[in-house]
């Protein structure tokens, strides 16, 4: 490219400065380009509707944009320095193909609304992908809950043995959390589902741009009316999407932590298949749960990205080149969230439980709470029942293992408070997952 698109013939920007300005942008814009192309096609069709380009010109530009997209995916076009960004490259490539007609594409728009609309489409696409993945996570957890509905598992508080629970109850907790997260993510999708195209540099333009047309052409729910708001929402919308993705990742982190403990030799409740573990470069005896450890780290990446975004947005109204710096944390956060979520369904379905180890971890005194509650149900004031059972814990701890298993089973079955281990209400959770 000879000159930047904004050149009026004066000396061009210092090459080192130019490289710095383009920075990661030319690389990250490779992911934005397909969305930029889609939005540019809508923009040009909109220009034809108000007579700024002829129908033939619009048809030629739309077709050339499509060809550019194909050539770009086939590796025939490279987005790199010396382009300033993907938007400049697109205009340059169009002009190379169509001459002056290509130079008409930018009428009535700025790179400021151009980057916003492309990013908005990308955000919608990514949140859709994340919704589909969280749906799969929820279904996998639900299936595990169903198939291990009344299989005992020690229940902990403070990481100390507390009461008998079930694998079903443990899994149901994740299934319901992800079901709620799905609703949250859909709400956030609706929140960001508005069209900034046609707001130009943040102050509108002196053309009756058909913004309603581009809004429906691009499949947006509504128009983002105020041009200033359109600019000011750069970064804040990205944050909302990343926060919506952080929510299901928090459950992933908890699951990863649980598994990290349950797969130790000390607990040994769960085994991961060899295909999901790695070896050590020095210790021939090791199999390591690297996958669950990286899953545990993934919310940190998203959280870091959110923090970085908030810091960048300490700005006055309108466009500032600082806003370009919102792109790397956004892309990084989205990528980390989606990559991690896509690992979870297979992980869940591959868990293998060592029931012998689980039984060995069950202590008789874990029946104490249910026993005290039982006495209370028979009329003994609860505090009295608590003390009575608490003073005779040794009786529970001395139960023979067969006797203990039976008592654990009965205890679980009797835990009939809605949602409790004996009444998981998996149908209700399934209904919420949809």
Q: Would you say 111 or 189 has its CB closer to ligand ARG?
A: 111
Q: Which of 95, 214, 324, 330 binds ligand ARG (CB under 6 A)?
A: 324
Q: How far is the CB of 114 from ligand ARG (least distance, A)?
A: 7
115 binds ligand ARG (CB under 6 A): yes
Q: Would you say 174 or 319 has its CB closer to ligand ARG?
A: 319
Q: Can you tell me the distance from the alpha carbon of 91 to that of 15, in angstroms, rounded to the nearest whole number?
A: 21
Q: Can you tell me the distance from the alpha carbon of 134 to that of 72, in angstroms, rounded to the nearest whole number?
A: 31
Q: Can you tell me the distance from the alpha carbon of 246 to that of 195, in angstroms, rounded to the nearest whole number?
A: 24
Contacts (CB under 6 A) with ligand ARG, residues 177-206? none
Q: How far is the CB of 212 from ligand ARG (least distance, A)?
A: 25
Q: How far is the CB of 234 from ligand ARG (least distance, A)?
A: 8
Q: Would you say 113 or 370 has its CB closer to ligand ARG?
A: 113
Q: Which residue has the tokens 């507390």?
A: 162
Contacts (CB under 6 A) with ligand ARG, residues 78-97? 85, 87
210 binds ligand ARG (CB under 6 A): no
Q: Would you say 29 or 258 has its CB closer to ligand ARG?
A: 29
Q: Would you say 85 or 308 has its CB closer to ligand ARG?
A: 85
Task: Please state, as a whole number, how many other Cβ atoms lie within 10 Å of the Cβ of residue 95.
Answer: 18
Residues that contact ligand ARG, how many (by CB under 6 A):
11
Q: Would you say 5 or 138 has its CB closer to ligand ARG?
A: 5
323 binds ligand ARG (CB under 6 A): yes
Contacts (CB under 6 A) with ligand ARG, residues 220-239? none
Q: How far is the CB of 112 from ligand ARG (least distance, A)?
A: 5
C-beta separation of 251 from 344 below 8 A: no
Contacts (CB under 6 A) with ligand ARG, residues 24-43? 25
**How many residues in total does the chain contain?**
434
State how beta strands 270-271 and 352-353 pair: antiparallel
The three-class DSSP label of residue 284 is: coil
Query: Can you read off the two tokens belonging to residue 182?
Result: 């799905």
C-beta separation of 62 from 45 below 8 A: yes
Query: Can you read off the two tokens belonging to residue 33?
Result: 């380009």
The three-class DSSP label of residue 353 is: strand
The three-class DSSP label of residue 409 is: helix
Q: How far is the CB of 28 from ligand ARG (least distance, A)?
A: 9
State how beta strands 222-223 and 194-195 pair: parallel
* Cα→Cα distances 53→41, 62, 348, Å: 12, 12, 55
The residue ranges that bind ligand ARG (CB under 6 A) are 25, 85, 87, 111-112, 115, 319, 321, 323-324, 327
């Amino acid at each position: 490219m000879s000159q930047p698109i904004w050149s009026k013939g004066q000396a061009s920007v210092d090459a080192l400065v130019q490289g710095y300005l383009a920075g990661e942008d030319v690389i990250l814009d490779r992911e934005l380009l397909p969305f930029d192309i889609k939005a540019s096609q809508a923009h040009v069709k909109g220009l034809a509707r108000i007579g700024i380009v002829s129908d033939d010109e619009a048809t030629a530009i739309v077709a050339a944009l499509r060809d550019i997209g194909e050539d770009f995916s086939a590796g025939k076009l490279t987005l790199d320095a010396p382009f300033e960004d993907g938007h400049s490259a697109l205009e340059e490539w169009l002009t190379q193909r169509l001459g002056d007609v290509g130079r008409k594409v930018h009428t009535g728009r700025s790179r400021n609304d151009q980057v916003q609309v492309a990013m908005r489409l990308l955000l919608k696409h990514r949140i859709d992908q994340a919704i589909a993945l969280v749906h799969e996570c929820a279904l996998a957890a639900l299936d595990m809950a169903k198939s291990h509905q009344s299989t005992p598992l020690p229940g902990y508080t403070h990481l100390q043995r507390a009461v008998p629970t079930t694998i079903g109850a443990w899994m149901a907790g994740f299934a319901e959390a992800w079901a709620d997260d799905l609703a949250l993510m859909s709400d956030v999708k609706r929140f960001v589902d508005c069209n900034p195209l046609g707001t130009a540099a943040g102050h509108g333009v002196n053309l009756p741009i058909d913004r309603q047309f581009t809004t429906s052409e691009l499949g947006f729910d509504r128009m983002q009316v105020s041009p200033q708001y359109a600019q000011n929402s750069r970064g804040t919308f990205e944050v909302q999407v990343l926060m919506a993705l952080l929510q299901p990742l928090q459950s992933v982190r908890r699951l990863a932590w649980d598994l990290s403990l349950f797969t130790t030799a000390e607990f040994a409740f769960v085994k991961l298949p060899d295909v999901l573990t790695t070896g050590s470069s020095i210790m021939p005896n090791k199999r390591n749960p690297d996958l669950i450890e990286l899953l545990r780290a993934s919310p940190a990446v998203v959280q870091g990205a959110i923090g970085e975004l908030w810091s960048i947005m300490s700005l006055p109204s309108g466009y500032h080149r600082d806003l370009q710096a919102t792109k790397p944390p956004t892309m990084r956060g989205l990528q980390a969230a989606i990559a991690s979520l896509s690992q979870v369904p297979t992980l869940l379905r591959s868990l293998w439980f060592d029931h012998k180890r689980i039984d060995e971890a069950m202590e008789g005194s874990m029946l104490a709470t249910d026993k005290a509650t039982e006495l209370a149900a028979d009329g003994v004031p609860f505090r009295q029942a608590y003390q009575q059972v608490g003073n005779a814990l040794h009786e529970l701890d001395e139960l023979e293992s067969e006797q203990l298993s039976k008592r654990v089973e009965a205890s679980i079955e009797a835990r009939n408070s809605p949602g409790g281990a004996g009444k998981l209400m998996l149908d209700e959770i399934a209904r919420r997952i949809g």
